[in-house]
Structure 1
Amino acid sequence: MFFVLSKVLWFLTAPSNLLLLLVLTGAGLSVRWRRLGLGLCAASGLILLAGGLSPLASLVFGPLENRFPEFRDDGAPVAGIVVLGGAVETGLSAARGQLVLNDAGERMVALGDLARRYPEATVVFAGGSGRLTGDGAVSEAAIVRRRAASLGVAPERITYEDRSRNTRENAAFSAELVKPKPGERWLLVTSAWHMPRAMGCFRHAGFTVTAYPVDYRTSPRVVAIHSTAGDGLFELDIAVREWLGLVAYRMSGYTATVFPGP
């Protein structure tokens, strides 16, 4: 139920969708209540423009991306690496016969890099299907299994977790699959903006991991102005979704705190 509700509610509350719906609502209201309808259209349009072009997305992203520091190798042995899904376009990959990545593709770059740097480590890729209709859906893990060689990694080198649909399941199913031992060092690879929620879920699952954030969208001390409203709204949607996800996961008991930290 949580999975279905999260998909439906997000469609309605994503800033870009919500503001567009308000513009359409205003247009409809203007037929009967001209001033009210046009006012709603104008206000929603201005917010869309400001949200897309202003530094708002960078300001919302900053605390998420800076919550966990970048990984620094101190020479301690690495027993395993868990890479979370979310970077593979499963439908396009299946249709085109190659590994097609989205804007979070750095997760897969890190998988190939870390697999080479730590040849003795267990590599886990955690990614099922995030589609509401699971029938016939291809999992990310299935695509990666077929195309791992394109990352420079032998397919049999990777352990595949293919049941998870969200971050909580990523953590729970990965812990169940590899059964990490106390004292082992495991690296967790995901987007920097997603790391707080991911770390909270892995801690809740009893899986001790070290953050390996990738896929940064902001510079540490630079607030960016976007060149197109589409770029800014895309980034704003991601950031707002993550903040809402943090709150929802805490309320559902999937994490111990709203904003997990180091």
Structure 2
Amino acid sequence: MTNTLKVLWDVFDPVTIFLLITLISTAILVYGNARWRAVAARFVCYTVAISFLVVGLPLGNLLLFPLEQRFPKDEQPLPPSPAGILVLGGGIDAEISHIRQAMELNASGDRVLAMLHLGQLYPNVPIIYSGGPGDWRAQGRGDADALTYAPSITNKIAQRLLIEQRSRNTHENAVEARRLIPADLSAINAPWILVTSAWHMPRAVGAFRSEGWVVHPYPVDFRSGRRFKTGFLRWLRNLDDLKLAIKEWAGLVIYHRLGWSDSAFPSPEIKDGR
């Protein structure tokens, strides 16, 4: 199921769809008859117009904003005595790290930095880093393995660091990480601090709650802002944001339908009836 979902996303990726429509329409314009050429010409015009709107307007920013605001960090003080720290993989460029034999952070590297920061704040709790090969085309190790390339950093938390290397998605993060919980903590109801990107936090919280975890969200790696910027010079960033937002919103729906999340759009838990 995991690989099937990832393949479907690659096929129905917005960029892939636009490219396929453009290529097919262009082929019809060149080789088709007059009737089909007229239809293809319209498709090309529509595709180009939509493409300019998609990359020229901050649609991705608008869609990412509610995801990142779902669990505001400044409104959720850290628990005084957490059971541990959970860090979801995705902050390390696994392919480059394994080629260069050195840990290389990517755009979501705040996850790793937050792990080190929280490790200092809570020097006596276990830290689980969960992240196997996330790409279905990847062969071998994921980004969790790349932590071994930075001993000068990880040595500070090495005695408490538990690495989970099998998970391929957020649902499997929740399932596989549970196998690593020390026996003396399995019955403790204290929350685990969950670290992941802000735009990914709603889906992550839903997946972990569905597997029985008590988590305290600690979002990092924010992508959106209150000032929605426009301008065609931001084409690539706008397109990247839109792809990310569509994937997350679709993931929320799919996870809920598959029973992998306790809610279609998880929210902060309400305590004491408030």
Query: Could you say which TM-score interval applies, normalised by the shorter chain?
Result: over 0.9
One-letter code of the match for 2:17? L
Aligned to 2:253: 247
Aligned sequence identity (%) = 34
Q: Which residue of 1 aligns with 2:99?
A: 95
- Show the counterpart of 1:223: 228
Partner of 1:132: 136
Matches within 5 A, 1:56-135: 56-70=59-73, 72-73=76-77, 76-133=80-137
For 1:81 and 1:36, the matched residues in 2 are separated by 56
1:203-256 CA distance string (max 9 Å, x none): 01101100000111112x322225331111111101100111111111111112
Q: TM-score, normalised by structure 1?
A: 0.92
| 75 and 207 in structure 1: CA distance in 2 versus 1, 3 angstrom threshold | closer
The alpha-carbon deviation at position 133 of structure 1 amounts to 4.7
Residues matched between the structures, number:
259
Q: 1:161 aligns with which of 155, 161, 164?
A: 164
Unmatched 5+ stretches in structure 1:
none
RMSD of aligned C-alpha atoms?
Answer: 1.8
Distance 1:54 1:169 in 2: 35
Matched position secondary structure for 2:150: helix
Could you list the runs of 5+ residues in structure 2 that have no partner in the other structure? Answer: 269-274
- Report the secondary structure of 1:11's partner residue: helix
Q: Which amino acid in structure 1 is aligned with residue 173 of structure 2?
A: N
Cα displacement string for residues 164-215 of structure 1 (whole angstroms, at most 9, x for unaligned residues)? 1100010111122115433312100001111111001100110110000011
Moved over 4 A (4+): none
Give 3-state SS (helix, strand or coil) of 2:218's partner.
strand
Whose radius of gyration is greater, 1 or 2?
A: 2
Say if 2:148 is the partner of 1:145: yes
Contact 1:90 1:143 (8 Å CA) reproduced:
yes
Q: How does 1:143-222 map to 2 (within 5 A)?
A: 143-150=146-153, 153-178=156-181, 180-219=186-225, 221-222=226-227
* Equivalent in the alignment of 1:11: 10
Per the normalisation by structure 2, the TM-score is: 0.88
Shift of 1:75: 5.9
Match for 2:247: what amino acid?
Answer: R
- Residues 208 and 25 of structure 1, relative CA distance in 2, 3 Å threshold: same
